[in-house]
């Protein structure tokens, strides 16, 4: 089977169009129902195609807002821009990271399945019908309800030196204050991995989090997206140089602090603050065991506090903090 999903607009002709991906979804409250995922395309003659996605996790808001804002500003493009602001639309409707229909994390099911569940079918369509048309993909993320990040643009540490160098130029063209070269904890099933395996240019972001959106992060994302579109020749002009060159960081072993205790988190550092190895990052209090001493988690490396657990309570195994180190 090719796909069960249809698209209400032509993705290949010149012009600006908004429409929907239609995913059949017969269910208790809608017998012949479907899910309609908004999609926008702008095409102006020959040139590269850039696919911009957000909302693969349904509790991240900066990316979808930046893509909706960008769509309103896309006038003359050379080549094509495809925008999918709420890729996992059922998850966005439910304000949850995973889909309420099949409980799948869309960024762990790529390459997806044409005859799979709703999330798998959507992932398959994104890869086989949208990524297949694209020369470059930017997938916008943030921390969602459980993490908060210093707004940043992200690439992977790619083994091929040419592809690494080409991706790094695009990373710096984005012009974010912080640019991360990341080694994933668990890269299987990610859109990132699927796109990179096909040799296409891939960038991501972490734009904040906490299950909300903040004005500075959205502005940074919009400026960065326009800069990369200029860098790729899809928008006219040169990328706007940032006030200061991006600070390049990475996350070698020891940068991720995982909670070994459940309890109440007392953050000891703000996001973006400088950290020295051995410095306390957070304290976990045992609020049910009155009198038991709290546990302090310390940094293993020098750097800056890049991400932190967002809710006030932490469970064993949660990501408590991430330190990023200068490259």
Report in angstroms how near the CB of residue 92 gets to Zn ion at its nearest. Answer: 12
- Asked whether the beta carbons of 45 and 14 are under 8 A apart, the reply is yes
With CB under 5 A as the contact rule, which of the stretches 43-51, 124-132, 136-144, 293-301 interacts with Zn ion?
136-144
Distance of CA 80 to the CA centre of its chain: 21
Q: Report how far apart the first and last C-alpha atoms of the chain are (Å, whole number).
A: 46
Report in angstroms how near the CB of residue 139 gets to Zn ion at its nearest. Answer: 8
Residue closer to Zn ion by CB (options 120, 192) is 192
Residue closer to Zn ion by CB (options 79, 209) is 209
Report in angstroms how near the CB of residue 324 gets to Zn ion at its nearest. Answer: 17
Report in angstroms how near the CB of residue 97 gets to Zn ion at its nearest. Answer: 7
Site for Zn ion in 283-312 (CB under 5 A): none
The dihedral sign for the CA sequence 318, 145, 254, 138: positive
- Asked whether the beta carbons of 94 and 63 are under 8 A apart, the reply is no
- Residue 273, preceding peptide bond in cis (omega within 30° of 0): no
Rounded Cα distance, 19 and 173, in Å? 30
Report in angstroms how near the CB of residue 141 gets to Zn ion at its nearest. Answer: 3
Site for Zn ion in 39-68 (CB under 5 A): 57
- Smallest CA-to-CA distance from 106 within 116, 235, 264, 157 is with 116
Report in angstroms how near the CB of residue 11 gets to Zn ion at its nearest. Answer: 24
Report in angstroms how near the CB of residue 57 gets to Zn ion at its nearest. Answer: 4
Residue closer to Zn ion by CB (options 92, 299) is 92
Q: Tell the residue number behind the tokens 């994933």, with chain if given.
A: 184
Residue closer to Zn ion by CB (options 124, 141) is 141
With CB under 5 A as the contact rule, which of the stretches 17-25, 137-145, 191-199, 233-241 interacts with Zn ion?
137-145
Residue closer to Zn ion by CB (options 63, 303) is 63
Residue closer to Zn ion by CB (options 89, 141) is 141
The dihedral sign for the CA sequence 194, 195, 196, 198: positive
Structure tokens given for 135:
């020369």
Distances (CA, A) of 40 to 74, 94, 165, 192, 217: 10, 22, 30, 21, 22
Q: Does 156 bind Zn ion (CB under 5 A)?
A: no
Residue closer to Zn ion by CB (options 57, 145) is 57
Q: Does 141 bind Zn ion (CB under 5 A)?
A: yes
Rounded Cα distance, 305 and 274, in Å? 7
Structure tokens given for 52:
């911009």
Report in angstroms how near the CB of residue 144 gets to Zn ion at its nearest. Answer: 6
Identify any residues that bridge with 20 across adjacent strands, giving them in sequence order. 38
Residue closer to Zn ion by CB (options 208, 263) is 208
Residue 303 CB partners (closer than 8 Å, separation 6+) = 249, 255, 274, 275, 323, 324, 325, 326
Furthest C-alpha separation in the chain:
70
Q: How many chain residues bind Zn ion (CB under 5 A)?
A: 2
Distance of CA 55 to the CA centre of its chain: 8
Residue closer to Zn ion by CB (options 146, 298) is 146
Q: Does 145 bind Zn ion (CB under 5 A)?
A: no
Report in angstroms how near the CB of residue 21 gets to Zn ion at its nearest. Answer: 19
Q: Which residues bind Zn ion (CB under 5 A)?
A: 57, 141
């Amino acid at each position: 089977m090719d796909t069960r999903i249809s698209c209400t607009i032509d993705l290949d002709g010149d012009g600006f169009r908004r429409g929907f991906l239609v995913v059949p979804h017969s269910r208790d409250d809608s017998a012949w129902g479907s899910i309609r995922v908004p999609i926008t395309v702008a095409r102006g003659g020959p040139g590269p195609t850039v696919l911009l996605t957000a909302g693969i996790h349904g509790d991240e808001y900066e990316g979808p807002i930046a893509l909706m804002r960008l769509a309103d500003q896309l006038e003359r493009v050379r080549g094509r821009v495809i925008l999918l602001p709420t890729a996992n639309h059922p998850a966005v409707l439910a304000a949850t990271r995973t889909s309420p229909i099949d409980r799948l994390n869309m960024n762990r099911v790529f390459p997806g399945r044409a005859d799979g569940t709703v999330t798998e079918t959507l992932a398959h369509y994104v890869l086989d019908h949208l990524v297949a048309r694209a020369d470059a993909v930017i997938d916008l993320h943030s921390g969602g309800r459980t993490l908060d990040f210093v707004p940043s643009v992200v690439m992977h540490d790619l083994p091929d030196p040419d592809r690494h160098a080409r991706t790094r130029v695009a990373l710096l063209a984005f012009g974010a204050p912080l640019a991360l070269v990341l080694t994933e904890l668990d890269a299987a099933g990610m859109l990132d991995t699927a796109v990179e395996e096909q040799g296409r240019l891939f960038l991501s972001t972490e734009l904040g989090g906490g299950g909300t959106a903040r004005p500075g992060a959205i502005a940074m994302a919009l400026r960065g997206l326009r800069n990369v579109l200029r860098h790729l020749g899809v928008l006219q002009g040169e990328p706007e140089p940032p006030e200061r060159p991006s600070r390049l960081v990475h996350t070698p072993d020891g940068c991720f602090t995982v909670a070994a205790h459940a309890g109440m988190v007392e953050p000891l550092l703000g996001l973006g603050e400088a950290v020295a190895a051995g410095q306390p990052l957070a304290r976990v209090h045992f609020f049910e065991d009155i009198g038991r001493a709290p546990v302090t988690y310390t940094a293993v490396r020098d750097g800056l506090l890049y991400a932190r657990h967002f809710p006030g309570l932490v469970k064993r195994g949660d990501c408590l903090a991430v330190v990023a180190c200068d490259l």
